[in-house]
């Protein structure tokens, strides 16, 4: 095996390692993006609920609390 063959094999091995790491990082990124979207949905839901509570009259609030 020549020096060029060894160098070529080492480069191929390094490229394979980098490709595997890249794939892992892309999967982690995808998972994080899904978590962010889920959190955005939760924030939007809580925001809607908060606005609903803010716009309630005292009577509506009393009825809501009495029903709990």
pLDDT at 6 over 90: yes
Please state the domain extents for the chain. 3-66
Per residue in 17-62, pLDDT (tens digit) is 999 999 999 999 999 999 999 999 999 999 999 998 888 888 888 8
| Residues 55 and 63 sit within 8 Å (Cβ to Cβ) | no
Pair of tokens at residue 56? 């309630």
pLDDT value at position 40? 98
Return the SS3 of 23: helix
């Amino acid at each position: 095996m020549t020096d060029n063959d060894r160098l070529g094999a080492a480069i191929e091995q390094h490229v394979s390692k980098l490709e595997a790491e890249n794939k892992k990082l892309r999967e982690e990124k995808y998972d994080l993006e899904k978590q962010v979207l889920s959190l955005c949905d939760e924030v939007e839901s809580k925001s809607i609920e908060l606005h609903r509570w803010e716009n309630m009259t005292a009577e509506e609030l009393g009825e809501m609390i009495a029903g709990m």
